[in-house]
Chain A
Amino acid sequence: MSHQELLQTRFPAAGLVFSDFRDNHRVQVPKERLVEVLTCLKTEGGFDMLVDITAVDYLEYEDADDRFGVVYVLLNTSTGERTIVKTFVNDPDPTLPSMYPLWKSADWTEREVYDMFGIKFEGHPDLRRILMPDEFTTFPLRKDYPLKGRGERHNFPVITRSES
């Protein structure tokens, strides 16, 4: 049984949207059902590896309804089957449940999504900035943050030759 049939039988009225593009099989899940769907995929579907978590900021995307899309790429290591689970969150205060209890690989990937997009993961054991300095206040991969920054990269003391 493929994972699509599994999910259709388990969650008949959960509002899941299935789509295929090239060889990617995708499932769009409402935020409230995310934990159930991912737990079902792990325990019954055999998706034992969480390959990646990432997010997309749809602020400048035409006809987009929601602000952030969060993407979970899952892999079944015994059959080689892949699926991509996607859910949407919105401003203000975008929050999702953490997948750390299911897959340990969610630890750093969720921290990165938090660092870059400001999406909080409830239940994560250690959610703080990972790539940017702790003093940083904004989230650089959001579309409203400019590519060249807001001058933070120039804001350091200068050491001249005679001082050193």
Chain B
Amino acid sequence: MAVKDIPDNVFMTTLDAAANWSRANSLWPMPFATACCGIELMATASSRFDLSRFGAEVMRFSPRQCDLMIVAGRVVMKMLPVLQRIWLQMPEPKWCISMGACACTGGVFDTYAVVQGVDRFIPVDMYVPGCPPRPEQLIAGIIALQDKVIKTGTFNGREFAKRTVAMGPPPFDADELIRIREGNEQLPVLN
């Protein structure tokens, strides 16, 4: 049955496009702010830069209310299980921005305690480089993520089910493995 006489204020679209449009423009960030980048995240949300212009200002500190995790700052050994648990607590659909050099790669902290990039252990959708990134750069990252959601998102999150492999680099450095083998060192097991 063909639809006749549609009024001017009714739009026809696909369900995917409608869902993506509304999701992209009302991202609720979960600020996983551990270090310096957290202060820039605060600067992004407050007076001069005003993140609410881009529809992503509703910071909620409970992971169950959010759909965008912003990992701002370095994540260390003791904190990584917390990060993974918070990521698992967030409802689908969800995205993750890795903000700053430390969250992306470990940055200047190539030490025993710092995880060398959170993308080794949780999925990351957008990387914002900088130490720390300027607020403009974070806003650009959020706009790029909105673009990605609109272009690739689906109503029921089918695109996530396909990604069964970890997207980041492997959790072991090649040279580190070689060193461990040569030195006959055993990897300690942490629970």
Interfacial residues, chain A to chain B (CB-CB below 8 A) = 132-133, 135-137, 140, 145-162, 164
Contact = CB atoms under 8 A, between A and B. Distances in A.
Given A132-B113, A164-B87, A164-B123, A156 B188 contact: no
Contacts of A132: 77-78, 113
A164 B85 CA distance: 10
Contact of B77 (A153, A158, A159, A164): A153
A133 B78 contact: yes
Contact of A151 (B80, B81, B172): B172
Interface string B73-109: 0000110110010011000001000000000000000
Nearest to B111: A147
Interface of B: 77-78, 80-81, 84, 87-88, 94, 110-116, 120-123, 160-167, 171-173, 176, 180, 185, 187-191
Given A161-B167, A164-B88, A164-B122, A156 B190 contact: yes
Contact of B160 (A133, A149, A161): A161
B171 A156 contact: yes
Given A148-B112, A154-B172, A162-B164, A133 B180 contact: no
A155 to B, nearest CB: 5
A148 B190 contact: no
Given A135-B191, A157-B121, A150 B185 contact: yes
Contacts, number: 99
Contact of B190 (A140, A147, A152, A162): A152
Contacts of A150: 112, 180, 185, 187-188
B163 A161 contact: yes
Contact of B84 (A146, A148, A159, A162): A159
A149 B191 contact: no
B115 A153 contact: yes
A155 B187 contact: yes
B111 A148 contact: yes
A132 B111 CA distance: 13
Contact of A155 (B84, B163, B173, B189): B189
B112 A153 contact: yes
Given A150-B185, A153-B112, 7 more contacts: A132-B77, A149-B111, A151-B187, A154-B176, A155-B190, A156-B171, A160-B163
Nearest to B120: A158
A49 to B, nearest CB: 30
Contact of A133 (B114, B122, B171, B190): B190
A164 B162 CA distance: 12
